Structure 1
């Protein structure tokens, strides 16, 4: 086994662990705001523009069925709305409403102090995070492309 392969395996294990711990922390923050981490994650994915449920699910690494349940909750709560999809009549785009954006902003505000403390304790700066993000995105791009 090459060193790069071993480092890749360790990276993936750490990403899973980081995601799990982050989800638990997010759940605590969301609960304090009367939300769930699942809602927060879907709101966050929708924050950069409308998406279909399958697209949001892919971005989150979840099944479309589980994301559809959360989207249903967000639609019922007035935090998201379904808008026509010019590319696929039977798969509407899901967009944030003003209320959804306000909820997301409140969740982010609640989490900022905790995240700042985490980054300070870890001694991590913005450039290190940018480099890690670039590496992860290159891996994701290759994994998404068959071949």
Structure 2
């Protein structure tokens, strides 16, 4: 169906444009979009690398490289996983939480400005998200 194809193409385009904006916001804090994305997922609570990769739609190996960098920089810590001894949970440290909170604050300001220019409301965003979540659910089945 053409409407589906067009939606997916637009999602890719907005994701690419958003990533460029995010890089510009993250750079002054010594971060990258990849690091920000991983910390963002983990801001909701500890996850394994494979679970984080699934959420981001990426290969676990690429997420593992980013996680290794975040562990080395002190933004993440590995904690025991009671469900799987070989797959530790990754958790934000205080430094990681402070960093992601600052990134979210910078992003909120920039996104509010973009949404104002676009004339898009929070309700419209939530409606669009609801459609995307339905599609995600169907594709995962």
> Under a length normalisation based on structure 2, what TM-score does the superposition of the two structures give?
0.97
| Mapped pair 1:50 → 2:20 | no
Matched residue, 1:133: 129
Structure 2: give runs of 5+ residues left out of the alignment: none
Structure 1: give runs of 5+ residues left out of the alignment: none
Could you tell me which of 11, 14, 35 is aligned with 1:15? 11
What is the CA deviation profile of residues 47-103 of structure 1, one whole-angstrom value per residue up to 9, with x for unaligned ones? 111111011011111111110011011111111111111111100111111110100
Structure 1 CA distance for aligned equivalents of residues 27 and 136 of structure 2: 31
1:16 positional shift: 0.4
Could you tell me which of 90, 102, 109 is aligned with 1:113? 109
What is the CA deviation profile of residues 1-52 of structure 1, one whole-angstrom value per residue up to 9, with x for unaligned ones? xxxx211110000000010111111011111221111110000011111111
* Equivalent residue pairs, number: 141
What is the CA deviation profile of residues 77-134 of structure 1, one whole-angstrom value per residue up to 9, with x for unaligned ones? 1111111111111001111111101000111112222111100011110110111111
Structure 1 CA distance for aligned equivalents of residues 16 and 84 of structure 2: 34
| Mapped pair 1:6 → 2:2 | yes
Following TM superposition, where does structure 1 have runs of at least 4 consecutive aligned residues deviating by more than 4 angstroms? none
Could you tell me which of 18, 22, 40 is aligned with 1:26? 22
Could you tell me which of 39, 55, 61 is aligned with 2:57? 61
